[in-house]
Amino acid sequence: MIRTLALGAAALAAAPAFAQSSVSITGIADAAARQVSNTGLGSIKSLVSGSNSTSRLVFRGTEDLGGGLTASFHLEHGIALDTGLPTGGFWDRRSTVSVAHRNAGELRLGRDFVPSYTGWSRFDPFSYVGVAGSNNLVSATPNGPIRSAFGSNPNTTVRASNAVQYLLPSGLAGVEGGVLVAASEGGTAANGQHKTIGARIGWAGAGAVVSLATTTTENNLTSTGKFKDTAVGASYAFEFLRLSAAWRRFEQAGSEQTNTLLAFSVPLGVHEIKGSFVRAAFGGSVGATALDANGVDQVGLGYVYNLSKRSALYASYARLANDGAVASTIPGGPAGMAAGGTSTGFEAGIRHSF
Amino acid sequence: MIRTLALGAAALAAAPAFAQSSVSITGIADAAARQVSNTGLGSIKSLVSGSNSTSRLVFRGTEDLGGGLTASFHLEHGIALDTGLPTGGFWDRRSTVSVAHRNAGELRLGRDFVPSYTGWSRFDPFSYVGVAGSNNLVSATPNGPIRSAFGSNPNTTVRASNAVQYLLPSGLAGVEGGVLVAASEGGTAANGQHKTIGARIGWAGAGAVVSLATTTTENNLTSTGKFKDTAVGASYAFEFLRLSAAWRRFEQAGSEQTNTLLAFSVPLGVHEIKGSFVRAAFGGSVGATALDANGVDQVGLGYVYNLSKRSALYASYARLANDGAVASTIPGGPAGMAAGGTSTGFEAGIRHSF
Amino acid sequence: MIRTLALGAAALAAAPAFAQSSVSITGIADAAARQVSNTGLGSIKSLVSGSNSTSRLVFRGTEDLGGGLTASFHLEHGIALDTGLPTGGFWDRRSTVSVAHRNAGELRLGRDFVPSYTGWSRFDPFSYVGVAGSNNLVSATPNGPIRSAFGSNPNTTVRASNAVQYLLPSGLAGVEGGVLVAASEGGTAANGQHKTIGARIGWAGAGAVVSLATTTTENNLTSTGKFKDTAVGASYAFEFLRLSAAWRRFEQAGSEQTNTLLAFSVPLGVHEIKGSFVRAAFGGSVGATALDANGVDQVGLGYVYNLSKRSALYASYARLANDGAVASTIPGGPAGMAAGGTSTGFEAGIRHSF
């Protein structure tokens, strides 16, 4: 009953007829045991999914149309490996169709990352996930620009639906980037419908990466001002060390949140050691509530043992400390965190790419 | 991390053992930018999925059992490429298992198209989707036989769950068709459970196609009479022009809706130009409400530029005009259409088959 | 538009580079027509999914890391082929990532079967599904240990989320088994979060199989005592006959349910005849309600005609009789069964493995 997916004899014989066909199926299965402690609340043990890299299943393919022109698709599905449940909207990690030209760039339609996310996450050595991921400092709590602009509805800090993108071709001496426009479709934030405009420009070469991105969102909750999301980052790979720094500011009406990341990564053969410091600082006010005293610091340390290019064992530790009225936590701990409390997390897991 | 799905060396060496195995994975990624205007309400821009052909992912395979006998399966999933969400019930585009004989035909179990849908949709050059699709004139509004028989619940104008089908074999000199019986399972329309019986007979050859189909449905809402759905259609391919005409009548108790389609399609090398006129006319009454004055007209024009057999760019325009108390619209426009109003839509997109 | 998934020319040429890559896509499409009659209530006809073997789609793969070490993943999705709907939580049949060593065994993280289920189901010739499956006697009705411990929420009689498992390697002279620990994550039974600990030990060889397993679960509903699930089974394959017997006891606080199975299976070339008798006996009490008079008996008979190793036609019959206050039924019949009534079911279907 167990059988490798295989081409039948007829298909093999006919292979030339399919020379342009391809569906690539890849993905990641990643799970870890985690323990998170919150100030005064004890700790909770859990099994979690995707702490080194989000568990996913990807279908994609590219057709060579000749003359440098290609058509392609990309469908990406997130999986909670701990429970077997899909995450979010099934293909909401990415669902796009594209036409591209080698020299002219790519026209891409569908749901995808916003420019500011791309311009931030590549500098996070924890890939925006796990106990030490910088995602822990991007949420609708505490109150600030993100909650003002989106409430607890789906926001555009990571992805946008209904998007039309133009992306620069490769081969521009390391220059990369693109623009994104997403339609609000006359809809509401509650339905994930936001009018979004963004752009990113970067350069990668000689061990260095620099990136500048901005994304602006309007919806039925932003009558007091658009939501602006700006991300700047850079990294440099020394001989045995990669250093990165990134800065991201969320603004809406009179409130702002500024996230700063400093990180390193040291590859030593099959070993990798990495660490990051992320700070979220709030400013301005929402209504009559001043935000200046609010902030979050997170320190993360990680170790990865690469069993192969595709598989790894890993362990990470993080400590998240709140200032002011903030009660952020590393996910997975006891509920009821008090303002100004501290959350610490440790996890060890397996990541397998297929 | 990006890797083509590939047979390992072991699998290749063992290929003869798998000579009868095959899972075919195909699909369509289709997205378009659309603008729809409704009388007195302005217009809305949106990104939409599947305007040339419904975005989908298909798993299927056939096993040759020898002696002309085969076993096969077909799982078909619809995707809203604009948002990354599944459409409907995930595999509800088709989920079937079959045993078939070359000369005796096919026994197919599971969810599939009803005969009347098959007998109509093949004559619509817009494939029942997009701004100009004839699906815009098959809905539970206005009140009429469809709403009487199904309310706003899942109906059988396209597919039926819990179906047993017998389908004629190919090789009958162009004659094709089959019968379908679906069980209501003692359930309710709200759960998509309908007792359905239908049949289709057609002939295709020498550039001509003719088809006659009928489908009858009973459920807990049809105590005043069964829902009848009859479709007749024909097409003929002249040297540079394919003409088609189709007629479909929905009846329930004292009400009826009659849809008529006239369409053409002109392939010119990599170009295709196509157009359709569809009219829905209502008659009889629902309760004390006479329907005779109600109707909808839709004119559609489309252009397809085929980049290859698999990929295309396309643009479509349609104008839908209501008569009487009807307030149908092309999907994607502003809400609040007044009875008798007009909806116009334009879209341009990319379709990639994989 | 219909195309076999194929390796492009480039991929074929590059095959050696992918020698360690593999994604295996397999599954089962199984549907049957069923009729179930309940005492005094008449009968209902239905189309059902997975009566010989659960309809499913499986993605999995193993990477050889060298030195006897492997990494692997397994994602398994259940499908209701009759309606095209996913069953349960999409990948909730299994979602795991593993690292294993040929001699040291396997560490597996994610959602999977609990030891007691594995130790029972392999002795049921109806594979725990269909009109004659022993699953008909494992449910939250009548009241007893299962309902006491889980209410009508997801329970651990089949699978557990958030599990860490160690499994013995093969090559231990037929000895097999493992241990499982699942975290409750500070959650609730309503969210499927249960603290579960279990183990299984078995032996297979010379036509015989024996197995002993136990699983213990705690959650927010088991304050009066843990839920214990113990399964013992054995089978022996004579020349033309396989006999099996199994015993499973569920206990919680003062209540217990004991299921006993006696079964046979006779393979005769492409034919297989099989039968089972299953009895559920209740004891103790829930609150003030004594359970001793409650019980269920089920007799099942099945015939399978194997069209090939992968495809089969089958038919099954079962009769389920209740004692005392129990009103269990074979699924698919009329609602409203009276206590002590009898349910009979027949089904005939197609199973195709791919």
pLDDT at A198 > cutoff 80: yes
Contact C84 B162 (CB under 8 A): no
Q: Does C122 touch chain A (CB under 8 A)?
A: no
C216 vs A6, C222, C252, C289, CA distance in Å?
41, 11, 10, 24
Contact A18 C8 (CB under 8 A): yes
Mean pLDDT, chain C, as a whole number? Answer: 93
Share of chain A above pLDDT 90, in %: 91
pLDDT-derived band at C13, boundaries 50, 70, 90: very low
User: 3-class DSSP state for residue B111?
Assistant: strand
Contact C47 B73 (CB under 8 A): no
Residue C241: closest CA among C279, C272, C262: C272
How far is residue A140's CA from residue A154's CA, in Å, rounded to a whole number? 10
Q: Does B84 touch chain A (CB under 8 A)?
A: yes
The minimal CB distance from B354 to the residues A61, A98, A111 is found for A61
The minimal CB distance from A15 to the residues C6, C26, C162 is found for C6
Contact B83 A186 (CB under 8 A): no
pLDDT score for B181:
98
How far is residue C110's CA from residue C129's CA, in Å, rounded to a whole number? 24
Q: Does C65 touch chain B (CB under 8 A)?
A: no
Residue B255: closest CA among B234, B285, B229: B285
The minimal CB distance from B44 to the residues A95, A97, A186 is found for A186
Beta carbons within 8 Å of B310's beta carbon, 6+ residues apart: A20, A63, A71, B352, B353, B354, C1
Contact A354 C91 (CB under 8 A): no
pLDDT at A11 > cutoff 80: no
Contact C93 A84 (CB under 8 A): yes
pLDDT-derived band at A143, boundaries 50, 70, 90: confident
Contact A65 B20 (CB under 8 A): no
Q: Does C334 touch chain B (CB under 8 A)?
A: yes
Neighbours of chain C (3+ CB pairs under 8 A): A, B
pLDDT-derived band at C275, boundaries 50, 70, 90: very high
Return the sign of the alpha-carbon dihedral for residues B346, B350, B353, B354. Answer: negative
- The strand pair at A56-66 and A94-101 is best described as unpaired
How far is residue A66's CA from residue A72's CA, in Å, rounded to a whole number? 13
- The strand pair at B195-205 and B175-182 is best described as antiparallel
The minimal CB distance from C7 to the residues B6, B96, B185 is found for B6
DSSP label at residue B118: H
pLDDT-derived band at C68, boundaries 50, 70, 90: very high
The minimal CB distance from C79 to the residues B75, B310, B353 is found for B75
Share of chain C above pLDDT 70, in %: 94
The arithmetic mean of pLDDT across residues A330-349, rounded, is 97
Which residues in chain A touch residue C3, judged by CB atoms under 8 angstroms apart? 18, 21
Q: Does B61 touch chain A (CB under 8 A)?
A: no
β-pair partners for C85 = C80
Q: Which of B69, B91, B196, B306 to mutate: most C Cβ within 10 Å?
A: B91
Contact B81 A111 (CB under 8 A): yes
Q: Does A29 touch chain C (CB under 8 A)?
A: yes
Low-confidence ranges of chain B (pLDDT < 50): 1-21
Q: Does C20 touch chain B (CB under 8 A)?
A: yes
B193 vs A95, B183, C247, CA distance in Å?
32, 7, 38
pLDDT-derived band at C306, boundaries 50, 70, 90: very high
Q: Does A9 touch chain C (CB under 8 A)?
A: no
Task: Kindly tell me the burial class for residue A16, based on how many C-beta atoms sit within 10 Å of its own C-beta (0-12, 13-18, 19 or more).
Answer: exposed
> pLDDT, tens digit, for every residue of C245-258?
999 999 999 999 99
Domain boundaries, chain C: 32-353
pLDDT score for A117:
98
pLDDT-derived band at C12, boundaries 50, 70, 90: very low
pTM: 0.94
Asked if residue B142 has a cis previous peptide bond (ω within 30° of 0), the answer is yes
pLDDT score for B77:
98
The arithmetic mean of pLDDT across residues C84-111, rounded, is 97
Smallest CA–CA distance from B78 into chain C, residue:
C84
pLDDT at C5 > cutoff 80: no
Neighbours of chain A (3+ CB pairs under 8 A): B, C
Smallest CA–CA distance from A22 into chain B, residue:
B354
Q: Name the minimum distance, in Å, from the CA of C319 to any CA of chain A.
A: 30
pLDDT at A104 > cutoff 80: yes
Q: Name the minimum distance, in Å, from the CA of A313 to any CA of chain B.
A: 16
CA angle A222, A224, A228 (to 5 degrees): 60
CA angle C61, C64, C67 (to 5 degrees): 155
Q: Does B65 touch chain A (CB under 8 A)?
A: no
Q: Does B6 touch chain A (CB under 8 A)?
A: no
Backbone phi, psi, residue B116, to 5°: -65, -35
Q: Which two tokens stand for residue B142?
A: 């206005």
Which residues in chain A touch residue C22, judged by CB atoms under 8 angstroms apart? 4, 354
How far is residue A272's CA from residue A125's CA, in Å, rounded to a whole number? 10
Residue A31: closest CA among A17, A9, A16, A46: A46
CA angle A141, A146, A148 (to 5 degrees): 95
Q: Does B81 touch chain A (CB under 8 A)?
A: yes
- The strand pair at B42-49 and B56-66 is best described as unpaired
Q: Name the minimum distance, in Å, from the CA of A102 to any CA of chain C.
A: 18
Task: Kindly tell me the burial class for residue A25, based on how many C-beta atoms sit within 10 Å of its own C-beta (0-12, 13-18, 19 or more).
Answer: buried
Contact C84 B110 (CB under 8 A): yes
Contact B9 C22 (CB under 8 A): no
> pLDDT, tens digit, for every residue of C212-231?
999 999 999 999 999 999 99
Which residues in chain A touch residue C59, judged by CB atoms under 8 angstroms apart? 25, 27, 57
pLDDT score for C2:
33
Which residues in chain A touch residue C6, judged by CB atoms under 8 angstroms apart? 7, 11, 15, 18, 21-22
Which residues in chain A touch residue B351, judged by CB atoms under 8 angstroms apart? 97
Contact A186 B335 (CB under 8 A): yes
Q: In B, residues 302-321, which contact A (CB 8 Å cutoff)? A: 307-308, 310-311, 313
Contact B8 C30 (CB under 8 A): no
Q: Does C91 touch chain A (CB under 8 A)?
A: yes
Contact C45 B4 (CB under 8 A): no
Smallest CA–CA distance from B69 into chain C, residue:
C307
| Amino acid occupying residue C63 | E
The top-level CATH class assigned to A32-353 is: mainly beta
Q: Are C167 and C106 in contact (CB under 8 A)?
A: yes
pLDDT score for B177:
97
The arithmetic mean of pLDDT across residues A345-349, rounded, is 98
Task: Kindly tell me the burial class for residue A279, based on how many C-beta atoms sit within 10 Å of its own C-beta (0-12, 13-18, 19 or more).
Answer: middle
For residues B340 and A9, which has the higher predicted lDDT (pLDDT)?
B340
Question: How many CB pairs (< 8 A) connect A and C?
Answer: 166
pLDDT score for A168:
98
Which residues in chain C touch residue B108, judged by CB atoms under 8 angstroms apart? none
Contact C19 B11 (CB under 8 A): no
How does B101-124 read in b/e, with b if 16+ C-beta sit within 10 Å? eeeebbbbbbbbbbbbbbbbbbbb
Beta carbons within 8 Å of A115's beta carbon, 6+ residues apart: A177, A178, A179, A180, A198, A199, A200, A213, A214, A215, A231
Neighbours of chain B (3+ CB pairs under 8 A): A, C
Q: Does A241 touch chain B (CB under 8 A)?
A: no
pLDDT score for A63:
97
Q: Are C63 and A312 in contact (CB under 8 A)?
A: no
Q: What does C110-179 look like in DSSP terms, one character per residue?
A: EEEE-HHHHHHHTT-TTTT-STT-GGGG-SS-SSSHHHHHHTTS--TTTEEEEEEEEEPPS-STTEEEEE
pLDDT at C340 > cutoff 50: yes
Q: Does C100 touch chain A (CB under 8 A)?
A: no
DSSP label at residue B3: -
pLDDT at A4 > cutoff 90: no
How does A134-166 read in b/e, with b if 16+ C-beta sit within 10 Å? bbbbbbbebbbbbbbbbeebbbbbbbbbbbbbe
Contact B30 A97 (CB under 8 A): yes
Contact B20 C310 (CB under 8 A): yes
Q: Which two tokens stand for residue B316?
A: 């479509």
The arithmetic mean of pLDDT across residues A174-182, rounded, is 98
The arithmetic mean of pLDDT across residues A161-165, rounded, is 98
How far is residue B130's CA from residue B51's CA, in Å, rounded to a whole number? 4
Q: Which of B65, B314, B354 to mutate: most A Cβ within 10 Å?
A: B354
Q: Does C42 touch chain B (CB under 8 A)?
A: no
